[in-house]
Every structure is written in C-alpha cells, then in structure tokens.
Structure 1
Amino acid sequence: MSTKSKGKIKYYILGGKRENGESGEQTLVREVSEELTVNIIPDTIEYVGTFRAQSDGAKEGTMVKMTWYKAQFNRTFHPNMEIEGII
C-alpha cells in the first residue's frame, strides 16, 4: 500500500518518526492508527527490513532510514486529514 499526503505529487510507503522512547513496533501502531484510522494487531507484526535512501527533495546526501514491518489490522482504511490518496 502507498499513500500520498495532501499537496504532494508522489506516493510513499506510509511512515512517520519515532517519538521519544518508542520502539519501531509502537511507532508502527501509532502512525497507522493516526494516518489510516485502523488498528494494527500487535501480535501479527513482522519485521521486513531496514533500508536507507536519498531523501526525496532534500539536499544531496540527506538520507532517510526506513524500517518496514507487515501486520494484520482490524478495519477498512479511512485516510485522515493529511492523506489525499491510497493505492
């Protein structure tokens, strides 16, 4: 699944930044709930991998680190106010 934020051109993998003291899994649960209004089922979370890439639209050499997980959830996606599209 990919999402597009309002005012953006490209679709991205859903994501967000960790808050102080959060684990990757806790960040996943919070971000998906905030952006898509679904609840991740915590005991289904599986680590997929960690990737680094150039940050889109940022100064050359500005890298982003993405940690990917997969998990089951309990509802149909409903994007919040900052998400314009889901594919």
Structure 2
Amino acid sequence: MLDAHTAVGGAPVTGWDLHEYRHSGLTHLSEAGAGLPMLMAKSRHKQPENVRRYFHLSAEAIAEVTSLLAPGDRRRGGLGQG
C-alpha cells in the first residue's frame, strides 16, 4: 500500500518503504539536537556505527553547528580564525 501511494509516476517499486522513514526520522531527530545515545535507543541499534549510516545532516545543520565556533563571523563561515 505504501509503494502504491508513494510511487513515482505510477511506476512499480519506485515508492518509499518503511525503512526510508527510519532514515528520515533519525535525520530529523539528530538535527533537533538528539545525541548519539538517544538515536541508538530510538533505532534499537547497539553499535554507534550501525546508527550513523541512518542519518544524514543537512548543509544547514552543519553550518549551524559550525557557527558555534565563531558566532557572528560570517566572513569565514563561522570556522574561527585563520
């Protein structure tokens, strides 16, 4: 049923499966500030390397955390001095 409702152009096997929601859910949780232990608990994985493959941070999230190193320094993208 999920495939039928998410298929691209009606083509079979082009839709999302439930596993895709795991990727997206962990990505949203990590961008909201959830740490690795919480992501491990949510995904029920026991090894950090197994969790890392499920989430992908956006460029915006990476830029935001990088800006913590040099707040207000837009010339160098917040990377500090150098």
Q: What TM-score does the superposition give when structure 2 sets the normalisation length?
A: 0.24
For the pair shown, which has the larger CA radius of gyration, 1 or 2? 2
Greater RCO (CA < 8 Å, at least 6 residues apart): 1
Q: What TM-score does the superposition give when structure 1 sets the normalisation length?
A: 0.23
Name the structure where strand makes up a greater proportion of residues. Answer: 1
